[in-house]
Structure 1
């Protein structure tokens, strides 16, 4: 595998693509996970935790996962590295923030979710190299993403 130095803009530009990776591994979003997240986050809205009420009143007919729970599961879905595993020469890699986060659809309880991503942008500057990674999370079988996220991270 040929390495790419984190300051080599031309080589890094080759990682930027409109094409998304293959699908990641799947994660099951069950009621126990939803309840754990509700407890941890303090978000105990009935649409997430009240199974009986949701069966009667929810437009989904069941509980649904928290949007931020789905976001937090991105790291659990193992997928392709989009060529980023080739990057070398840096001392640190760290989260730099987000450009975009959209919740586009509900994830019903007991859904399997998976993700795919692409390198959207790379910018080399004197002190850092910034990468924007776009990730789409879908309930398995759904054409429409439940979540679109653009993560920025930097190599220092």
Structure 2
């Protein structure tokens, strides 16, 4: 195990239970929703038809796809997490829990809030970080979503001895 992974593990363990970052706000406008609908082939009218959504839903207009809201998590994480010394990459490892709590109306502003819940060393190069992520909607008490997000922090491999190789 390298000094870098040991230092990162110790630093992360000291942050367990603490809020470790709050991202910048991002506006989810109709253009973003339409682009996401095109990309994912999910053009359900509650997302892409403002007139019908205003008339036929309780939302007063279109709402973002839940997966659009979730996909912004990566952007929010970039605002909040730096790579540790010796870390070569971060990898999305999935979720233990994910709940969509409030619809995101077109024009809403969102941000991510992160609290470190745990850290596990998986092998000589990987730390698995579990972070509670909340995606907030500006001006609303109930967030858009909450999730327990898993991420791998991958570090340089320990150097191998060249002894006996020829």
Q: Deviations over 1:86-120 (max 9, x none)?
A: 63334443222221111001011111111111111
Question: Any unmatched runs of 5+ in structure 2?
Answer: 155-166
2:137 is matched with: 139
**Count of equivalent residues:** 149
User: Hey, what does 1:68 align to over in structure 2?
Assistant: 67
| Alignment partner, residue 79 of structure 2 | 79
Counterpart residue number, 2:95? 98
CA contact (8 A) 1:121 1:133 kept: yes
Q: More displaced, 87-96 or 145-154?
A: 87-96
Q: TM-score, normalised by structure 1?
A: 0.84
Q: Is 1:148 the counterpart of 2:137 in the alignment? A: no
1:120 aligns with 117
Looking at CA atoms only, which structure, 1 or 2, has the larger radius of gyration?
A: 2
- Partner SS, residue 62 of structure 2: coil
Residues 93 and 76 of structure 1: is their aligned pair in 2 closer, same or farther, counting only changes over 3 Å?
closer
Correspondence 1:10-89 to 2 at 5 A: 10-17=10-17, 19-21=18-20, 23-77=22-76, 79-81=79-81, 85=82, 87-89=84-86
